[in-house]
Amino acid sequence: MTDGAAIRGNDGSKWLYTDIVKDHFFNPRNILYHGEEKDFQADAQGRVGSPACGDEMVIWLKIDPKKEKITECKWQTFGCGSAIASTSVLSVMLTENGGMNLEEALKIRPQDIMDRLGGLPARKIHCSVLGDKALQAAINDWFRKTGQHERVITEGSKIVDTEHNITEKDVEEAVLDGARDIEDVLKKLQIKKVESEVEHTLEQLIRFYTEKYFG
């Protein structure tokens, strides 16, 4: 680990941030500041978390459809300095050297992000996971928009519609992003219609997550 700044936590312990972390925190790369979203014509978007209950991360991608390469990556976060630095360096990793293709991007691990930063304090490791999940959500968005539902990544979440690979997590994120009914959820997932049995399950999940986050 390179020399860094020691920051004292609430319990009196010291967290050591590397110079790379400090650089990406004070000079974040590829960030979209508030109000600039409408001017960035993204091909895919991924959102995880919620500012109402903690950290939130949003990633926008521009993708070359022929090569499936990420040509641009923009992002915003409601989070700490580690979350900002982690997503900043992730955006560089995705677009350097002509851009990663989607299969390469999906192989990025939180550990790879931390390695590029020179490490993070143990209690801040979850910040690199947040960016990783937002990236996966954005790539899933691209798969859905291009009709490649069989390529949607569903790891770690129960599938509620096998035809379109809709998961409980997809419904949760849609509700956090403003969806309040079946029509809203399907629109966000780029799906026109599902079976009636799936509709019933989705309605139950929408009610559950709406009550959970919004009362």
pLDDT at res. 36: 82
Kind and range of the H or E run holding 90: helix 81-95
Catalytic residues: 53, 127
Q: Phi/psi of residue 29, each to 5°? A: -90, 145
Quick: pLDDT tens for 62-103.
999 999 999 999 999 887 788 889 899 999 999 999 999 999
Mean pLDDT by 10 residues, the chain (215 residues): 43 67 92 84 88 76 97 90 89 96 92 86 66 91 94 87 92 87 94 93 92 76
pLDDT at res. 177: 80
Structural domains of the chain ordered from first start: 4-147 (3.90.1010.10), 154-214 (1.10.10)
pLDDT at res. 80: 79
Q: Which residues contact 136 (CB under 8 A, 6 or more apart)?
A: 46, 106, 153
Classified as helix, coil or strand, 114 is helix
Rounded Cα distance between 5 and 194, Å, is: 52
Q: How many helices (H) and strands (E) does the chain have?
A: 8, 7
pLDDT at res. 34: 78
User: What does pTM read for this prediction?
Assistant: 0.76
